[in-house]
Amino acid sequence: DQQVKQNSPSLSVQEGRISILNCDYTNSMFDYFLWYKKYPAEGPTFLISISSIKDKNEDGRFTVFLNKSAKHLSLHIVPSQPGDSAVYFCAASAPIQGAQKLVFGQGTRLTINP
Amino acid sequence: EPEVTQTPSHQVTQMGQEVILRCVPISNHLYFYWYRQILGQKVEFLVSFYNNEISEKSEIFDDQFSVERPDGSNFTLKIRSTKLEDSAMYFCASRRGNLLRVGTEAFFGQGTRLTVV
């Protein structure tokens, strides 16, 4: 049941360039999307989110774009820095009563090369 | 900055034994979760807890699993009789309010690595 997919298991980007991480989803009920960053032996850390009523949200170097018709979202990091090297997870949530669980993608390992 | 804390960081247990994983969520948060990540796989939802009861649970969360919020601050996950396939990283998370409001994203603890031998 792969409702959220990150098709690129890894991505390598030069320092200073733009990193673009992609995520696709299948459940049209999802209305809130998040990106988390994870270092080894640590829990996921929230980065940025977007509601389905928007198509773009920006926070510093991080921008998330949502294309609802394509059921696709992307995370742009610019400029990329060595500290951005981590696994990035896309997550989505549907508006149900109660606790609104997150459904995660498989993650993309981003490596920023100096 | 407030954070979700989990103990222990690593637990090794024999198959068939009971384990309790502990979490202290952020104090003004209302929604609590357990997720797990088997090595090399994605983070999977186990259970959500709100207003002192289970809100939703996944197929993974069978009768061997239970959750409790015994004292208003701790949130525990108990596995009654561990199996080899329960070996994973277990993450606790908490959230303040409705997800559609800014600032109510889920915050995760650093995880407990459970190894069943």
As a whole number of angstroms, the distance between CA B53 and CA B48 comes to: 9
Reply yes or no on whether the pLDDT at B49 is more than 70: yes
Reply yes or no on whether the pLDDT at B100 is more than 70: no
Distance from CA of A104 to the nearest CA of B (A): 6
pLDDT classification of A70: cutoffs 50, 70, 90: very high
Looking at residue B101, its pLDDT comes to 64
Mean pLDDT on B40-67: 93
Residues in chain A: 114
Reply yes or no on whether the pLDDT at B102 is more than 80: no
Phi/psi zone of residue B16: left (φ > 0), alpha (ψ -120 to 50 degrees), beta? left
Reply yes or no on whether the pLDDT at B87 is more than 80: yes
Share of chain A above pLDDT 90, in %: 84
Task: Collect all residues from A whose CB is shorter than 8 A from any CB in B.
Answer: 31-32, 34, 36, 41-46, 49, 51, 89, 91, 93, 95-96, 98-107
Reply yes or no on whether the pLDDT at B25 is more than 70: yes
Residue A25's alpha-carbon distances to A16, A39, A106, B88, in angstroms, are: 29, 24, 12, 25
Which strand ranges, in their side-by-side order, compose the sheet holding A56-59? A4-5, A19-25, A72-77, A62-67, A56-59
Looking at residue B99, its pLDDT comes to 66
Total H helices, total E strands in chain A: 0, 11
In degrees and rounded to multiples of 5, residue B86 shows phi and psi of -80, -10
